[in-house]
Amino acid sequence: MNVFDGHNDALLRIYNDPTPAAFEAFLNGGSSAHIDLLRARAGGLVGGLFAIFPPSPMAGDLSDRMSGASYDLPLPDPLPHPTGADATIAMASILLRLEAASNGGLTVCRSVADIESAVARGSLAAVLHIEGAEAIDPDLHMLDVLYAAGLRSVGMVWSRHNHFAHGVPMRFPSSPDTGPGLLEPGKRLVKRCNELGVLLDLSHLNERGFWDVAELSDAPLVATHSNVHALCPVSRNLTDAQLDAVARSRGVVGLNFATAFLREDGRMDSDTPLDTMRRHLDALLERLGDDGVALGSDFDGATIPDAIGSAAGLPRLIEHLSAAGYSDALLEKIALRNWLSVLGRTWKA
């Protein structure tokens, strides 16, 4: 079954290993990554939102500190705009160079028609997304430049705060209500994204910021890679009230495969059964309906269940859900159609 994915960090992985070998491994396989072109084909991954995450210097890997009975990890300091801009441009360049070097194996897509055309040709459909908008200046000039380069999805924050909004900390157990809402530039960013037809990703945004976007935006509410707070009470997950707001807007939530956001104990532990993922999908379907649930793996950015392992293991999740009674029609919506639908209702082209 064809799968379109709401979030991966393949570009960050290549950016952090700026060697020809890392670039070539994405195109030809041979690395330990969750996603490369060979693993994507093996698992039916036909496209997704390719995140640009400007990393904080010396931040280290947070996932190895998310294994206790509780945790509250200190977040890195805000990232200066020039640093965020440099990293964002570099990762956008990586995606464009991958497209050029792939001999048709990857296509940067700017519309749903582009995605459908790429899938029909057997080309991996890559949508440019930013996670943490430090590259965009408060006056939003850079937003227009990035849009021209193909940007079609914006997450205002990763978990550290910036000049637009406040993110949630990596905290368990915790409500997502962890701080103030959008700053004035953030409110302007919402309106300008609506005008351009750029998707606004609410994953990582704190609860007050979520409600500010819900009030200001005329687009469907979307969380590309978030789960159900009632099942895993980590700050990154969405409460029932937030899920109900997404449903009212005809939005979408993509299931995050990161085990710390799946497990009842909030631990990053790859020994997590597929049934844990299904419970979140069941709860999302109950709140959002068949048209509001999708996948947002966080491949190459998180510890995921060993039962999946990489993009090549996606069929095991589909088979598990089918065995649990999910119909083929519902699985096609979750795997592909719901993303194409919400993107079509958000983008202007």
User: pLDDT of 36-68, one tens digit each?
Assistant: 999 999 999 999 999 999 999 866 666 678 988
**Rounded to whole angstroms, how far apart are CA atoms 256 and 157?**
17
| Cα(243)–Cα(292) distance, integer angstroms | 10
Torsion of CA 288, 290, 293, 295, to 10 degrees: 170
Ranges of each domain in the chain: 3-346
* Residue tagged 């010396």 (tokens): 58
Phi–psi pair at 223, nearest 5 degrees: -120, 110
CATH superfamily to which 3-346 belongs: Metal-dependent hydrolases (3.20.20.140)
235-255 pLDDT, tens digit per residue, is: 999 999 999 999 999 999 999
| Integer Cα distance of 50 and 68 in angstroms | 30
Secondary structure of residue 64 in the 3-state scheme = helix
Q: Of 33, 158, 149, which is closest to residue 96 (Cα–Cα)?
A: 149
pTM for this prediction? 0.97
Strand partners, 294: 254
- At 349 the pLDDT is 72
First and final CA of the chain: distance in angstroms? 26
Q: What is the pLDDT of residue 30?
A: 87
- At residue 58, the pLDDT reads 60
Query: Which residues in the chain come in under a pLDDT of 50?
Result: none
Helix (H) / strand (E) containing 72: strand 71-73
Q: What confidence tens digit (pLDDT) does each residue in 148-181 have?
A: 999 999 999 999 999 999 999 999 999 999 999 9
